[in-house]
Amino acid sequence: MNDLPFGFSPSSGDDGDGDDGKKPGDFDPNQLGQMLSQLGQMLSGMGAGMGTGGTAEPVNYQVATSLARQQIGKHSPVSQGELSAITDSVRLAEVWLDNVTTLPAGVTSTEAWTSVDWLEKTLPTWKSLCNPVAEQIAGSWSTNLPDEAKQFAGPMMGMVSQMGSMAFGTQLGQGLGQLAKEVLTSTEIGLPLAPTGTAVLLPEAIGIFSDGLEQPSQEILVFLAAREAAHVRLFSHVPWLRQRLLATVEEYARGISIDFSGIQDAAAGIDPATLLSDPSKLEELMAGGTAFEPKTTPQQQHALSRLETLLALIEGWVETVVSQALSDRIPSVGALTETMRRRRATGGPAEETFATLIGLELRPRKLREAADLWRKLLEASDLVTRDGVWAHPDLVPDGDDLDHPAAFVDRVIGGGNHAFDDPMAQLEKTIADEARKREEEGKGDGPGTSPTA
């Protein structure tokens, strides 16, 4: 059979105990005990110095945390001056945001985190994101293995699961470690990673970010504080939003299946005898990621599309209200807005890691379209109407609405003239209205009457 898991080879058809007819690559069940012992020693060596221990979780978060800390390396503690500057910036931003949104202030506390603080305090949310995916992948092993393989692999599936948990934790740790050094605020990637009502900025990362820009550092700090405060308002006063984001990830996870062909290709030429003499070969197969690259189904693609749309809507709304709040107060807001757009659109090594690990790219691909939709809706209505869209998930725009904002705007405001669908007709109507108004004003100006302003 060609679809046996890695480490197993087709039998020769000879069930005898002797060597006659046995090929070097045949699997001998009598060697199972020795193989398990070797694998146990290998697992012990992999976890040495990392405090892994046993874990019942689908992801070994001890490994992930340890590797992430190593990736972070040295970091600067937060000074009292940095905390005070961040607190003042958030407080100022909240005052300015009050004028451009009907959502009330959501910040109840302001904190300044180091990269290690970010790692430790956001890990619970990452668990809720990664566990469903990892559990589904782990379940796919037992579900998809052929019966012949299950007969031999059953006793060692526990160890294989432990290795899978460790491999998943290794990739997650590398991604989190890189991301911890890059993020500027707790909501930068669009997810609510901090406790509800808490605004968080990371001063060390902000300092590095500011060094690469030709803008005043104080303006950058207030700009980022306004973005964080706007995110917190949204997540604090739209109670369904956090759960919808996590539920979409879980929906994606339920459709995951493993493509065993990659494992078979990677395991070509490796037989149990090789694993017994050099069990690191199995470690290489697991750590290489071939076992953990999920196949994307149409159902998963639909969930990913909805997730990207929701992230774009969040980012677009934040961009719109922050630009409104700061445009007359901070000269660099336009340049900083474009910088953040590019930063979110291109992602980085950490986001690429998560894309490889669980197939998720936390990028608002249609950010510009989403921001344009929020602006058009405001132009056609008012703050109450625009922000009221967040009242229920069924009211929120979908992917088609981002591509056709005019239809969405007409639907929300209840109009039927489709003015946005035919901008030339609207322009002609505006010109005609202005001409008629001037004509009426001219008729009303008799002798001795001065024209009104």
For residue 132, the model assigns a pLDDT of 78
Cβ neighbours of residue 55 under 8 Å, at least 6 residues apart? 61, 62, 162, 165
Decide if 5 contacts 145 (C-beta within 8 A): yes
Q: Where are the domains of the chain?
A: 54-258+294-358, 367-437
Decide if 201 contacts 375 (C-beta within 8 A): no
Q: Is the pTM of this model over 0.85?
A: no
pLDDT digit string (tens) for 190-244? 888 999 999 999 999 999 999 989 899 999 999 999 999 999 999 999 989 988 9
Cα separation, 112 vs 352, whole angstroms: 27
Decide if 38 contacts 275 (C-beta within 8 A): yes
- Number of separate helices (H) and strands (E) present in the chain: 20, 2
For residue 3, the model assigns a pLDDT of 37
The residues of the chain scoring below 50 in pLDDT are 1-20, 22, 24-25, 27, 29, 32-33, 35-54, 276, 288-292, 416-424, 446-453
Cα separation, 410 vs 364, whole angstroms: 24
For residue 444, the model assigns a pLDDT of 53
For residue 353, the model assigns a pLDDT of 60
CATH 1.20.150.30 fits 54-258+294-358, yes or no: yes
Decide if 141 contacts 161 (C-beta within 8 A): yes
For residue 416, the model assigns a pLDDT of 44
For residue 442, the model assigns a pLDDT of 63
Cβ neighbours of residue 207 under 8 Å, at least 6 residues apart? 217
Distance of CA 222 to the CA centre of its chain: 24
Cα separation, 176 vs 120, whole angstroms: 10
User: Which element (helix H / strand E) includes 29?
Assistant: none
For residue 326, the model assigns a pLDDT of 97
